[in-house]
Chains A and B, each alone.
Chain A
C-alpha cells in the first residue's frame, strides 16, 4: 500500500490499522509488505524516516508489543531497524520494556538475527547506548545468578549468552572502562556457577562467555583461557563477538536454516572437487605399482616382531603385587602395569587368592612414571580383577565407595569399574571382542556424563529393535557363541551395597549435598546395573529397591541426576518381568506414571522430558503386552 503523496496527512490511522492487524496475528502479512518498502524509502529520505517514526510512535500501547516484535523480526538489519524506529525505545516506555527486558530476559525463542537487530539498534545512537550498557549489566547479572544456571533451560541460557556476546561486540573502549569492575565481578561469580553445573553444555557456555568478557576487559593483560571441545555451537558463539560490517543486507548470521543452506553449498562444491583430485592421485600410484616386479616376493608374517623390552615383566601375580607396593625401579613398575591385566586373566586361580589385596592396591596406586594410558591400563586391570573374583572384590569396592577419605575421582572410578565389569560378565561374547555400542561406555573420560545416558538409550533401542526383529526374521544372523551370563549370580552384590548408604552423609562425602555430581554418576550406574541384571534371580527385589530410591530423589534439583533417575525407571521397566512388576509394585507404578506425566510437562530440561516420555511409552507397551498376553 502506498501512502498518499499529500503534505498533510495523519499517520495515526495507519498506525492503528497496523497495530490491530499485528495484534491479531497478521504481522507477517502486513509487515512483510510494509517493511521492505519503508526500508527502501527511508534509506535516503529523511522525510520518510520521520513519517515512519511517527507511524510507529502512534501505535497505541496495547498493540505496541506486537508491532514492535513484527518490525524487529522482519527488518533486514540493525541499521534498517534504526531508520525505521528512530529513538522509539527512548521515547516510549512500553517499547523500552519490550526491547530491553521482555525480549532478552523473559523470552528466549527468537533467532540470533533478532538479537543482532535489537542490540545493534541499541548501539547505533548515543541516546540509546546508555540502554545498551544497562542491558549488558542486567544480562550478566542474570547469566551469573546461580539459581538461573541451575533452573533455567539450556536453551534460555544459550540465548542469554548469545545476547551478552553481541553486546560485548558493540561496546567501545570508554564504555567498557566505565563499567569494567562490575563486568569483572559479575563474570567471576557467573563462571563459578556455570562450572559447578553437571551438564557439559552449560559449563562450556560459561567458559566461552567468561573468555569473551575477559578478552574485552583486559585488552593488554593475561586473559582467561579455558580448554573445551570445539564444535559448531562454540564456533557460532565466538563469531558473534566479531561484528559483521553494518551495511550488509542479509545478516551474516541468519537463521539456522540459512546457515545450513550456505554450509551445504560449499560442502557440495568441495565434494565435487575431491573426486577429481582422488582420481588424479590413484593413476600415479597404479603406474608405480606396474613397475614393481617385486610383487612376487610375498612377505611373511611379521606380527611377532615387537619391541625388545629391557626389563621383563613379572610372570606371577604375587610378584606384581610386590613391585607395585614396594619397588622403586621405574622400568619394572612400567612393565608390571602393562602386563598386569593379561596376567590376571591368564591366572584366575592365583588371582582369586589375592583379589581383594590387588583391588586395594589398584584403587590406591598412583602414576609413578609417565606411561601412556596409565588410567586405562589401571582400569582394565581393575575390571579384570573384579570379573575374576566378583563377590569379594565387589564387596570391597562398594564398601570403599562410601568410606572416608577418598577423592571424588576415586569414587567415580569405582562406579566405572563396576559398570564395565558388569557389562563384561553379562555379555555373551568373549573378552576382547567389544560390542560397538558398548565401546563408548564410561571409560576414562572427563565428560562422559550426558554421553552415557545417550549410549544407554542406544542400547535400549537396540534391544527393543532386536526383540522385534527376532519375531519377524527368525534366525537370519549367525548366533554368537553362547556363554553363561556370569553377572546374574553376582548382580545383587554389585547393586545393593551401592544403594544402601546413599543418605548417610560422611564428613568428606555428602551425596545428597554438594557432591551431587557423584550422585548423578551413582544413579546412572544403578540404571545400567539394573538393565544388565535382566535375567538375574534378584531382579525383582532390585527393581523394588530402585523404585523406592528413585521415589525419594525424584525432585532433585540437578538435571543430570534427574536424567539418571529416569534411566533407572526405564531399566526397571525393561528388566523386571512384567508379571512381577504388576504383582509387587503396582501402586508404586501408578504413582510413578503420575510423576512421569508431570515431568513431561513441567521439567525445564529437554533431555528429562524426552526420557520421561519414553518411559511413559514403555509403560503403555507393557500394559498392552499384559492385556494381549493369554492369562
Chain B
C-alpha cells in the first residue's frame, strides 16, 4: 500500500503577491543560517529558514515583478532580474542591502537568466536581450559580452523562453541550452557562437528546462501535456530520449536535484510532481497549492537529510517540503 503523499514541512506566508522565483542558500559557511530567497511583485524576500520569517525585503526593481534570483557564490551576493528590464547585483553582507551594480537588458520578455561559474570569481550569465530572438552571454562581474547568439534569419524560433548554461567540468567549454517559443531546444556552442544542435521537442513554447551534464540528459516542459526528455550523443547532438505524458497540461518550472536522483515539476494544475530522474518514474504528486505553481527549487544543504524542496505559487504561498531526503 503506497503511503499518502506527505504534507509540507512548513509553509511561508507573508509575501502578498504571487511568488515567481525561489533560490536556496543553505550550504554556506554558517550552517545555522539557511536562507531562501523569493522573488515576487516588487520585492525580493530573504527568508530565514530557522525562524521562518522574512529577514529583509529588497526593493530594487521599482515595485515590478522579480522573476529570477540567484546567488553569486556566497549568500551575500545576489543577482535579481525584474520586469523593469534590469538585472541587479546586490551586496547583502553584514546586513547591508544595496545594489552595487546593474545590467540593463532592455528585454521585455520573461526569460530567466542562467548563471554559471567558470572560474574563481568569474561567472557567465546568459540573458535575453532587446532583440527578441537573441541571447547574450555576459561575463560577470566585468559585464563584458562574451558572445551574442543570434539564430539564423528565417529560423522563426520566437523568443527564448528558458536558458541553461552548463559545462562538463569546471574549466571545460561552456555550452548553452535554450528553449524557444516554437517548442525547440537549441544547443549553442559558445566559443563559436553558433547553433550546434537543434531539436523540436514540443508543439507549444518550451516553458522550462533543466539539464544533467553528468548523464548528458535533459528535460523540458511546455504548456502541453508532455514532458520531453532528450539526451546528447557523442557528437553532442540532441536527440529525443523519451516523452512522459502528464495528466494535466502546463508546466512552469522543472528542476533536477543536485544529487541527480529526483526532479520536481511545477504545474499549472496547482500540483508539484516528483519523478525519479533515472527512469522518469513518477514518485509523488504534492497537492497543496490552490493556484498555479510558478517555481520549484531544491535546497543545497550539505547534510543530505536536511534537504528541502520549495515551491512558490500564485496563491502567495511558499510550501517547503522534505521529501526523499534520506537517500
Contacts and interface: CB of A to CB of B under 8 A. Distances in A.
A534 to B, nearest CB: 39
Interface in A292-320: 292-294, 296-308
Contacts of A293: 278
Contact of B284 (A302, A307, A308): A302
B288 to A, nearest CB: 12
Interface residues of B, number: 25
Contact of B279 (A292, A300, A302, A305): A292
Contact of B6 (A297, A300, A302): A300
Interface in B278-320: 278-279, 281-285, 287
Given A294-B276, A307-B247, A308-B248, A300 B283 contact: yes
Interface in A255-310: 292-294, 296-308
A308 B269 contact: yes
A297 B261 contact: yes
Interface string A308-343: 100000000000000000000000000000000000
Interface in B27-75: none
A297 B285 contact: no
Contact of A300 (B2, B247, B262, B327): B2
Nearest to B287: A304
A299 B269 contact: no
Contacts of B247: 305-307
Contact of A294 (B3, B248, B269, B278): B278
A306 B287 CA distance: 11
Most buried by B among A292, A299, A306: A299
A306 B276 CA distance: 20
Contacts of B3: 298, 300-301
Contact of A297 (B248, B271, B281, B287): B281
Contacts of A302: 2, 5, 282, 284-285
B283 A299 contact: yes
Contacts of B277: 294
B15 to A, nearest CB: 24
B324 A297 contact: yes
A294 B261 contact: yes
A305 B324 CA distance: 19
Nearest to B250: A308
B54 to A, nearest CB: 31
A416 to B, nearest CB: 34
B327 A297 contact: yes
A458 to B, nearest CB: 35
B4 interface: yes
Given A305-B247, A305-B285, A307-B247, A297 B276 contact: yes
Contacts of B269: 308
B6 A299 contact: no
A299 B278 contact: no
A299 B274 CA distance: 9
B2 to A, nearest CB: 4
B276 A305 contact: no
B320 to A, nearest CB: 17
Interface in B170-222: none
Contact of A307 (B2, B248, B285, B324): B248
A301 B271 contact: no
Given A294-B261, A294-B276, A299 B248 contact: no
A299 B284 CA distance: 6
Contacts of B327: 296-297
Contacts of B270: 308
A294 B284 contact: no
A243 B196 CA distance: 63
Contacts of A307: 247-248
Contact of A304 (B1, B279, B283, B285): B285
Contacts of A300: 2-6, 283-285
A299 B261 contact: no
14 contacts: A294-B276, A297-B261, A297-B262, A297-B276, A298-B2, A299-B2, A299-B281, A299-B283, A300-B6, A300-B283, A301-B5, A305-B247, A305-B271, A306-B247
Which 8 pairs show the lowest CB-CB distances between chains A and B? Answer: A301-B2, A300-B284, A305-B285, A300-B5, A294-B276, A299-B283, A308-B269, A294-B278
Given A297-B324, A302-B5, A308-B270, 4 more contacts: A294-B276, A297-B262, A298-B283, A306-B247
